[in-house]
Structure 1
Amino acid sequence: MKSWDQQTHRQRTRILTVILVVFVLFLAGGYYGGYRLAGDKVPRGTTISGVEVGGLTRSAAITELEQRFADRGRAPIAVQVERGGQERSASVRLGEIGLAVDAERSIDAAGAEASLSPVWLWNYYTGGSEIDAVVNVDEERLRERLAALSAGLGTPPRDGAVTFSPQGVTTTHPATGEAVDTGAAREALTAAYLGGDDTVELPIEPVEPDIDEHDVREALRNYATPAMSAPVTLVLGKSRIRLEPRQYADALSMVPHTGELVPAVDWTELSQLVDLAVVASDPVDATVVIVDGRPQVVPAESGLGYRPSDVVDAFLDVITSRGSARKVEVQGNVVEPDLATSEARELGIEEKVSEFTTYYPHADYRNVNLGRAAELIDGTVLEPGDGFSLNGIVGERTVENGFTEGYVINDGILVRDLGGGVSQMATTTFNAMFFAGLEDIEHKAHSFYIDRYPVGREATVAWPSIDLRFRNDTPYGVLIKASRTPSSDSAQGSVTVQMWSTKYWDIDSRTSERYNYRPPRTRTLTTPDCEPNAGWSGFDVDVTRVFRRVGGGTIDHTELFHTSYTPADTVVCEEPGRYN
């Protein structure tokens, strides 16, 4: 009996083992087949933010999601706000304001993978769900775009202000503004991106001004009201300048700074009021004058200057004070002259080194113009290396500058113009420079020869194109003295220019014979300003300047001046239409 039971047990065990093996083989085959069907795919029935990707491979699902959201990003949507029962709207593209889908992370979150897990296989065939895509946000771009939308859809706050005018102080009351709520707008735009919406309602929040009522009251109490309460007196050296509030009001302002109103002063306005431009009294350079035939140094004088910042600071220090405290002395600074007394003495201006005089026939315009030119040139001091410009010193020949109309040479004939005759001063100065041995920089002879001038050794000027320029290339200073003796009906006038220095060169002048003569032509003019003239020939001439060291007989070097004079045309004046 026991033997039978053992035999039966063994048979049952073999049967169960066979059944178990068959079952395992069956499961393995089905499992492997399911894996091959579902491996590396998104579970069936899966939708990501409205985009169906279920059953797609991972790469195909990523491509589908990217394409669909790219379309959403390019499509314009309307963003709108509601204020006071009225709507304002604008159009934006979500892809341009910093929103972008992260397709890979979104597909991975949906469960796209290759797995032998029975649970995963079960979910693949029986699962599927609606999930939101993963969205990346470019926060900087989003903030910039929302700020732009706020400017167009919201209302900026109005800062309080304090302004000044001659009539008094005016205030601007602050006002609360409205702007797009950035945090809530971010969520609303992201939801619209995920949902494919074409309209988004953006929430609005109040925005307080930087300068509120408290700031305005403080500005009035601490600055504006006392600033306009009474005059301010500035003491600058010997000057006392009283400024009334109505005068300086336009120079005052209050500007926002770190959440409050602070004072500001317009220096240009204030400087016009006090009528000074940094320097209250100009320095006076040392100079050299001739007294009883001897050079004497006139001492320099320092000036008194004021820095604009010092004046503004002093003004601000007392503008909120009361009573006598509204007067302030501004500390100036000494302004030294360009040429000090000691420097003038070191120039070595000890003797007259050259002198030249030219004469002219009587004409009132010559007396005026030559006298004015001499006045402007007289006393000029050239330090070693300094240049001289007659146009630069004399300036434009205008009525305001003291000149009158006279005759000048233009296109080979005499015509009337302001400053006529000044060229005689140029010729005289050129010759004084010539015999002082100074360096010639620029000079131009008259176009035709004028016999009261030394031939080949003369110069003309015209504003502003033709100038007489030379340089003091000696180691000593040069004082230029210029004077004019007026002409009269019975006596000719003269112009004299002297150069005072320490003699450095002995100068000789050698003049060649005239050559290459050219005859004049005759011109008949019928213009109202025609001036008759008896012509003469043109010619060439050479002048040589010979340099010798002072006290020495040997020639150091020479300088050649070549002049080519054009003929002076004979001018015949006729009445207009005489030969018609």
Structure 2
Amino acid sequence: MFMISEMKKMKNPATPSAARGPGIILAFFGLGTILGLFLLVAVARLSWHSKFYPGVTIATVEVGGLTREQARVKIENQIADYQMSVSFNGVDWKIPKNLVGYDLESSLNAGYRYGRRLRLVDYPLLLINKRTNYPLQMKEVEAIRWDEWLQTIVPAIEIPASEPSVFLEKNKIVVTNGSNGVIIDRDLLKQKVAMIAINLESDKVEIPTKNIDKQLNGEQLQQLTSYGNKLLEKNLVLVLDDEQIKLTTKELISLLYTGKDEEIFDSGLILQYVEGLGESLDRPPQDAKFEFSEGKVQEFAPGKDGVKVGEEQTAQVMKIGLIKLITEEVKSEKVQIVVTLTPPLVTTDKVNELGIRERIGRGESYYAHSIPNRIYNVGLVASRIQSALILPGEEVSFNKLVGEVSGATGYRSAYIISGGRTILGDGGGLCQVSTTMFRAAMAAGLPILERWAHSYRVSYYELNSKPGVDATVIAPSKDFRFKNDTPGHILIQTINDPKKLFLVIEIYGTSDGRVATISEPKVWGISPPPPNIYQDDPSLPMGVTKQVDWSAWGAKASFEYKVVRDGETLEEKTFSSAYRPWANVYLRGVGQ
């Protein structure tokens, strides 16, 4: 028993030593592997110091074993010999070398870093000479170079597209269809060239193209025509204070959208139109000026807010108004121009003690078709009443303000209506100013003491106005008179534009809260014009005919004028007019 037990005891101690044998072997093997790798790293670093590691290529060019400078020269030579080309439908073009730029320094750096990173797994790959390629890194090339070169091949490839159009011709809507086209896909072409160029590959690049679809189908053409027809006899008016800009039918139609999307008007074209408005309407603030001496106003300029048109906001509301003309049964639409106002530093009330603080009335009239002498006289009369200062409680006589009207006082002969005929007479155009003054006085809510209507409807006075809102003067028998019943002085200002043939009269003073209303004129008893009238004129060459008056239908007209302040009626009057029918009047040249 003892012997057996002792033998077991002697056998068991040998068991741990036997188990440790394989572990020691594995440990030595692992240590050897690590030492081998470190040795490999050391050998590699010593062998390839300042050189590219084996298997490294840049743009498929072998640079393993080369120094950076040797590699640079080798790649530069390859680039110098490299020629790319593009192709389209069997026709080839060489790409100029200046369209492909390389960042050679960055490309060399990328390849040189291979094998010098502290990753042991990379080094065994050196033993099997695994190839690692680094594409050339590209450098940005000026877009203008590409554009200039592309223009040389565009004629052989591209087919220009044309936009559909809609326009007015002889009061009819004309729609022409667009045509489809083909253009070079420039961005994709550059990408394809770069993908080939980074490895100096010799493959040709097929030039990519894009189809431009501009041709409308039959339904779209019909819809565009329908939109154009709906704009005939429609009006869009842009409003900014007293300024009204009426778009012509031609302008309305030009804003229609002619593309394929479900749009009615072109937002881009609308914005362009509004940007043009900004150029003419924008203004800086204007400080007030007032100079009073020797009982007269020598200089006056009211303080005015600076104006800046909100182009995008105005374009949006303008588009809404335009769409209403198409989708709703409306003949006219008014759109308020959106602006930002900047007040002046010096306002009107700060520059005088006469009570001239603000504009209280404004009248306007057009005088298109006027002959040169009439245009001159309108300006002269306007200048004669400019800056007229009216005392509180004073009655104003237009004839007295103007003074004597004759050739001796500077007036020229222009056509006037006298005795049922159009004749030359001094002061033709005087009634243009008296009519405008009548409108300004009513807008200010002033009492009208005397007003005479013309015998005939005159075309000038119905431009942007209705029949019956005119006032004739013939000194001394017929005058236009009104009264300043405001608590302060009033000042008359005239703005005459002989190019636009447009006259404005403004009245400045102190508002006492009165509100004037003018009803829509009633027109009845309409009768047709008589036959054309021809009158000999020795100032015109023989055979020349010139129209100086335009026919007007006879009619009766009236409107109500009412002024109210704090619920009290200050003025209430009916102005009536009886117009005889009036013929076209032509001057017939009989001169030599």
TM-score, structure 1 length as denominator? Answer: 0.38
Structure number, greater radius of gyration: 1
In the superposition, the TM-score normalised over structure 2's length comes to 0.37
